[in-house]
Structure 1
Amino acid sequence: MRLSIVIPARNEAENIGALVEGIAQACAAAVPFEIIVVDDASTDRTGAVLDGMRERYPMLRMLRHETAGGQSAAIHAGVSAARAPVVCTLDGDGQNPPEELPGLFGPLLSADAPPELALVAGQRVGRQDSRSKRWASTFANNLRQSLLGDGTRDTGCGLKAFRREAFLALPRFNHMHRFLPALFLRDGWTISHVDVSHRPRRAGRSNYNNLRRGLVGVVDLVGVMWLVRRRITARAAERPAGDAAADAPLKRQA
């Protein structure tokens, strides 16, 4: 297993089936992979739709929160359960095209992948959302960039690929998925960006609204600024026996 694809989903019964099919087609010729859908306490038929697909798609796995934990909690649960060293994420609403996945995991699975590269982040081009949602997102991204300097135009894009171990070492908190570039940079990794397309939502409705997201985002931004400033920078290296004597202060001779 070289690749795990994690999908957080809440009440996406009308979208999740087509999304899983699209992922299977997009990744069929790539590497051995698994698909992990984390059902965040859906109250519709999301779980039943997934159960009906397991025989056709044996790489499909499903986790479920009994109470809603939010997108970051769902992503963290999926990454924790993943069996592969590289993980891709995309949203369960079908707005992230699965055809974009190879462009994200390719740089990390390449034989000449830089060892310091830990995150490939998608950035949406031609967003298919309402004008108010695009405006709110642009404002939030500009504010975040100015304060965190993470060099990312669009952290709200669900399409991302990263090294599993590096992700699990990041500070864990609600809404952390919106600050992954800054958090990876904080831990000394390098990141890269890929422009990706975006689709209109086919069915259902968003689980978020601009006001709630904005109020929570201000608190989160302050918290991430604190985490970045208070990071531990000292690194220890093992010393062979006898080497410590070279660092000992010289004794004053009588």
Structure 2
Amino acid sequence: MAAALKGLAPFEVVFVDDGSTDGTVAALLAARDVLPELRVISHDHRCGKSAALRTGIEAARGEWIATIDGDGQDDPAEIVPMLALALEAGPARPGPLVVGVRVKRNDNLSRRAATRFANGLRRRLLNDGCPDTGAPMKLFRRDDFLRLPQFEGVHRFLPALFQHYGSALICKPVHHRARLHGSSKYTNLNRALVGIRDMMGVMWLQSRTHISARSSER
């Protein structure tokens, strides 16, 4: 992470520990020796990925946010080119959502098949135009994210929600590596059941949320 971001100044790395009971926090605090920009925020109990995401983004001080999982499968070297793509889009508000699309998944066959099915179903029903909706690597403006409705599972539907709130979608192919840390808390079955319920909720939000027209004083 330190090597990947050294060309950006200033920057910070906000790590959210979602109620872990292992040595995660101790390892992170030790990592400050090589990454003094690291901030560690801990939940006192497990709240879920979407809650951890919001905790980190609310605590962040920067204008642009890049999200990345802590399991080592995402390559932090992709963050700088993703930011470049966002900046090329210009100063328009809201800003774009840049999604790191995992072209070659480094997962087992059943996980890849389940993800392919879920992405296809979401793309068809939500019409979000994103081939990898649940990709962990995303980049966006902090304020744009905080405008979105918040619920557990929101991280799986950011392309649809950002676009509904006026953001352009930019998809960038990224590398995907073998998992280095931790293990998934979901099976393919419970991931599907939760995902279908959440997707119905997002479809309802899309139908019932009307974005305010732009206004100006004369």
- The 4+ residue runs of structure 1 with deviation greater than 6 A are none
Matched, 1:113 2:90: yes
Q: Which amino acid aligns with 1:210?
A: N
Tell me if structure 2 keeps the 8 A contact 1:86–1:108: no
Contact 2:70 2:181 in 1 (8 A): no
Say if 2:64 is the partner of 1:69. Answer: no
Determine if contact 1:123/1:193 at 8 Å carries over to the other structure.
Answer: yes
1:144 maps to which of 91, 109, 122: 122
CA contact (8 A) 1:93 1:201 kept: yes
Tell me how far 1:204 sits from its aligned partner. Answer: 3.3
Of the two structures, which has the highest relative contact order with CA contacts closer than 8 Å and spacing of 6 or more? 2
Q: Which structure would you say has the larger Rg?
A: 1
Q: For the residues of structure 1 that align with 2:105 and 2:44, how far apart are their CA atoms? A: 32
Aligned 1:15-164 pairs, distance under 5 A: 23-110=1-88, 113-116=90-93, 117-164=95-142
Distance in 2, Cα, partners of 1:165 & 1:65: 23
**Structure 1 CA distance for aligned equivalents of residues 9 and 186 of structure 2:** 34
Residue 170 (structure 2) aligned to one of 184, 192, 197: 192
Q: Percent identity?
A: 45
Q: How many residues matched?
A: 217
How large is the Cα RMSD of the aligned pairs? 1.5
Distance 2:193 2:110 in 1: 16
Residues 119 and 133, structure 2, Cα contact 8 Å, conserved in 1:
yes
The match for 1:210 is: 188
Q: Would you say the 8 A contact 2:122–2:133 is kept in 1?
A: no
Q: Give the whole-Å Cα distance in 1 for the aligned partners of 2:137 and 2:46.
A: 22
Contact 2:72–2:177 (Cα < 8 Å) also in 1? yes
Q: Which consecutive residues of structure 1, in runs of 5 or more, have no partner in the other structure?
A: 1-22, 241-254
Unpaired segments ≥5 residues, structure 2: none
Q: TM-score, normalised by structure 2?
A: 0.94
- TM-score normalised according to structure 1 size: 0.82
CA distance 1:133–1:185, shift in 2 (3 Å): same
